[in-house]
Structure 1
Amino acid sequence: MFTFIKLPHRLFIPKKEEESYIKIIKDDKVVFVLDYLLNNVSIARDKVNFTLENMIIECGFKPSHKENENNDQFKNILKGLLDLKIIKCDFVIADMKSKQMYTLNLNLIMENDFIQLFNTEKESILNSNIKEINNRKLLIYYGYIKSRMYGRPKDDDLGKSGGRPEVCFPSFKTITYDLGLTDKIINKYNEALIELNFIRIANAGHFYYADDKTKMERESCNIYTLYSEFEDTWKQNLKEGIKYYKGLEVNKTKVFTNKTTYKNNNRKLNGELGSIIKKEKLGTATEKDISRKNEILMSSSENADVMFQIKGLLENNEGMILSKIYTNMYSDKTAEKWYELEVTLGLIDENTNDLLIDYDYYKYAVMNYKKEEHDLFVNSIAKHKREKNIPTTPKDKGSFAKNKDKIVPVVETPIVPPPMPDRVVTVNVKKNNPFDSDAFRLKKIHEFILDVTRDNEDLKAKFSKEFRGRINGHVGAEIEKFEIEVNEFFENYNNNNDEITNDDEEWMNQEYNNYINEEWRQAQ
């Protein structure tokens, strides 16, 4: 047994375009299997002698011969490691017996991409008594944070030489994708690791996008650093980490407010949006109202963060395409991703890397692109090129072009995003779309009501009293009116009920935002 083991970064996080081992094998117990193999490997020959039963027990689980339980799960993990060529064996994994001795070869190549997981760390986490915490999951989360952490050379002191601090700042969205954890669980794990003196956390405060006319405040990512017994060390890392985070190219269009206490301003915007929608139904909405509605919808949409970030990058690098911008930022992985997308969308020439369309339309296309609507964008861009008779003279050379020195300067013109023709047509072409039917719309409202009131008897009682006898029988414009009244009821309940919990408020706002995002999608 060693005092520490080395685990590859890719066990926890993706590497270039390749998913993490946890994602590929689809079982996070692979962390404990690799820990077991590394602790029992013969250094001279890279061989591990083991029984399946011993592996399962040493990993902290109980053997079970039932179908799809631990024995089968550990066999599947070994199959996954075999497919990844991390292990080699001359036996059939599916036929393994629980108590029989087996030998395999371990071929885990890590180079410099690894973390050190000390036995003291592992024992401290696995033996902790923090309530409502899955210790094994907590250990995996800690390994994930360590894998994300930037590491400086051993004798390179931040206070003396400056440079990049030892921090990481994965968003909750990124952590959820990588590990499948909810926001609530992530917060619990953060608190647990702080209590156990493994990490420290800071935050850059709230921000809004400079181009967002609603100035909707958003929360920054947490800044994480590893705990040190020298308080000045971790405090300096966090302080410099916040500066580093704010100075990133992708954050230059963010206006930081220096506020750290969360204040939900979605509620106010939702009320304003509901009022404008109501005016629209009554035919009294002005052009200013409609413009304001679109601003709120854009700011509240799921795609807003990406849209504002891309817009900021393009405005700060006028005339350049995204693959070149990200190359200049030394973000090769993102640059390659955008290059491939620019080629497949027909925005640039694959051989010369020339920009094939006018720059304004390029900006509109990349700011609004959605993966699920890829074919729509390809067709719309092709149609735009045909209709506009776009000249072949390049507007910009991408970072992968052969003749980078022949960049043609772009003439600055006001940005008036041209419409995406096919996108507009597809909204209204299906006259008999079942999703536009009165029955379907009423059904979705009913589902929303049931979801919101299911676990809240007080809310259910007040809703029943308010809408008794009015749930069914609506058609056409009556459904629109009913929908507005339902949304206003839940909004007013949110505003007037002091006892509503933060979780309830966040969840109900998310439900309403889902409605907003759908409205925004239709408005596109």
Structure 2
Amino acid sequence: MDIRTFIQIPNIAVWDAKKQGNTFIKIYGDKIIHILSYLDVHTDRLGIVKFTLEDMVSSCGLASRSGKGNSNNQFAYILDDLLSKDIITIISGDYKKSKNLVSCILKMPVGKSEWFPMFHDDYKKIIDDNLDRLILLNVYSYVAARLRRPTKDKEGKAVEDIVECMYVDYITFSDDLDITEATLNKYLVQLRKLGIIYYDSIGLIKKHDYSHEANNVYCLDKDMLPRALGNSSLYYKEEGFTILGKKTSKEMIAINGLASRIAQLKKDGKDTSKLEKKLATIEKNKKAKKKVIPENNIHEEVTPLPKMKYENKPDIFGMFV
């Protein structure tokens, strides 16, 4: 049996459970996950990292350029801060000279924090892709960081049966990564094509005459997805929702799209009155039609599943240790 090697990345890099806005991505920008992953991958058996700034920059698909505000300076600025916090210790070389070979030691800032594994084979698939590799890495990392994981004993064996998955709405997902919902969807589709992330939804749900799409569930293990969807179905049923299934009307697509757009504009402090009137009109017309979904379209649970266990949000350590 092959053992999958991995990089330890602190959850706080992409997800702040306490919602204090102090993720690495919020502080350093979208390059930090790549920098930490790159340094780990280029660590030899003696624990020495060897790299050039030029290769670090170009490996994520960016052009290595010097000068104020250019990619080399942006990467060097982050490395400066990692150096000041003893995350990296320079042995030889000067990374501010892009072609200069640098030797350093990396102390990944996991400390007492919760962390997630980024498997090396998944990292390679992402870093070899043609889309924006930084966004691919960050979307993958967000799912991995928020995945509910089982508690393990001293021998590393799981002591509870937990479906390793993530439940989150699109707005939270995209806002936490500072990308649009359209961009998020594009990169999720690509990660699914790469066989790295698996996700789906139980479809349309209804409560108090209002219908909308259930949140997606996300897994890194394909075999977990059916159980994750089962837990999602149980959760919504316990909350009083009726599961209507996969069929989504054009009106619902319009309603969901407008609702997302309104939320984004409000966040940006822009006027949404016209869009809100349009949304109210569509919803009013939808109710007037009183369209009944046939009984055979109702999603039914076949196998009883245990009640969904909610993740224990980890205490977040000081930014670096």
- TM-score, normalised on structure 2? 0.65
1:262 counterpart letter in structure 2: T
Cα deviation for residue 24 of structure 1 reads: 1.0
Per the alignment, residue 69 of structure 1 pairs with 70
CA distance in 1, matches of 2:97, 2:126: 31
1:108 counterpart letter in structure 2: M
Relative to structure 1, is the Cα distance of residues 99 and 239 closer, same or farther in structure 2, using a 3 angstrom cutoff? closer
1:23 maps to 2:26: yes
Relative to structure 1, is the Cα distance of residues 244 and 10 closer, same or farther in structure 2, using a 3 angstrom cutoff? farther
Relative to structure 1, is the Cα distance of residues 99 and 156 closer, same or farther in structure 2, using a 3 angstrom cutoff? closer
State the SS of the aligned residue for 1:224. Answer: strand
Per the alignment, residue 307 of structure 2 pairs with none
Q: Check the 8 A contact 1:8/1:114 in 2, yes or no.
A: yes
Deviations 1:205-258 (A, max 9, x none): 333454xxxx32222210112234xxxx334432443246437xxx73x52333
CA distance in 2, matches of 1:203, 1:223: 6
Higher helix share: 1
Per the alignment, residue 191 of structure 2 pairs with 193
Cα deviation for residue 71 of structure 1 reads: 0.9
1:255 is matched with which residue: 241, 246, 252? 241
Relative to structure 1, is the Cα distance of residues 201 and 174 closer, same or farther in structure 2, using a 3 angstrom cutoff? same
CA distance in 1, matches of 2:17, 2:81: 17
Q: Check the 8 A contact 1:150/1:167 in 2, yes or no.
A: yes
Cα deviation for residue 125 of structure 1 reads: 3.0
CA distance in 2, matches of 1:135, 1:41: 21
Per the alignment, residue 115 of structure 1 pairs with 116
Equivalences for 1:124-523 in 2 at 5 Å?
124-128=125-129, 133-152=131-150, 153=152, 155-156=157-158, 163-210=161-208, 215-228=209-222, 233-243=223-233, 245-246=235-236, 252=239, 254-263=240-249
Deviations 1:263-316 (A, max 9, x none): 3557999xxxxxxxxxxxxxxxxxxxxxxxxxxxxxxx85xxxxxxxxxxxxxx
Which of structures 1 and 2 has the bigger CA Rg? 1
Relative to structure 1, is the Cα distance of residues 138 and 109 closer, same or farther in structure 2, using a 3 angstrom cutoff? closer
CA distance in 2, matches of 1:32, 1:51: 14
1:193 counterpart letter in structure 2: L
Q: 5+ residue gaps in structure 2?
A: 256-261, 287-321
CA distance in 2, matches of 1:32, 1:72: 15
Cα deviation for residue 74 of structure 1 reads: 0.6
Q: Check the 8 A contact 1:202/1:238 in 2, yes or no.
A: no
Relative to structure 1, is the Cα distance of residues 265 and 257 closer, same or farther in structure 2, using a 3 angstrom cutoff? farther
Q: Check the 8 A contact 2:49/2:103 in 1, yes or no.
A: yes
Cα deviation for residue 84 of structure 1 reads: 5.4
Cα deviation for residue 172 of structure 1 reads: 0.6
Relative to structure 1, is the Cα distance of residues 77 and 267 closer, same or farther in structure 2, using a 3 angstrom cutoff? closer
Q: Check the 8 A contact 2:206/2:244 in 1, yes or no.
A: no
Q: Check the 8 A contact 1:6/1:114 in 2, yes or no.
A: yes
CA distance in 2, matches of 1:227, 1:42: 29
Q: Check the 8 A contact 1:167/1:241 in 2, yes or no.
A: no
Structure with higher RCO (Cα < 8 A, 6+ apart): 2
Cα deviation for residue 64 of structure 1 reads: 0.7
1:257 counterpart letter in structure 2: I
1:124 counterpart letter in structure 2: K
Higher strand share: 2
Q: Check the 8 A contact 2:33/2:137 in 1, yes or no.
A: no
Deviations 1:23-67 (A, max 9, x none): 1112x12112111221234676x6545432343244443321133
1:78 maps to 2:72: no
Q: 5+ residue gaps in structure 1?
A: 270-300, 303-369, 372-443, 453-483, 496-524
Q: Check the 8 A contact 2:127/2:133 in 1, yes or no.
A: yes
Count how many residue pairs are aligned between Structure 1 and Structure 2.
Answer: 263
2:42 is matched with which residue: 36, 40, 45? 40
State the SS of the aligned residue for 2:164. Answer: coil
CA distance in 1, matches of 2:246, 2:182: 18
Q: Check the 8 A contact 1:36/1:59 in 2, yes or no.
A: no
1:5 maps to 2:7: yes
1:99 maps to 2:99: yes
Deviations 1:318-368 (A, max 9, x none): xxxxxxxxxxxxxxxxxxxxxxxxxxxxxxxxxxxxxxxxxxxxxxxxxxx
Cα deviation for residue 121 of structure 1 reads: 1.5
CA distance in 1, matches of 2:43, 2:129: 28
CA distance in 2, matches of 1:256, 1:43: 55
Deviations 1:96-123 (A, max 9, x none): 3223444544332325722222232222
Relative to structure 1, is the Cα distance of residues 112 and 24 closer, same or farther in structure 2, using a 3 angstrom cutoff? closer
State the SS of the aligned residue for 1:117. Answer: strand
Q: Check the 8 A contact 1:223/1:241 in 2, yes or no.
A: no
CA distance in 1, matches of 2:84, 2:250: 47
CA distance in 1, matches of 2:57, 2:134: 14
Cα deviation for residue 83 of structure 1 reads: 5.8
Q: Check the 8 A contact 1:216/1:265 in 2, yes or no.
A: no
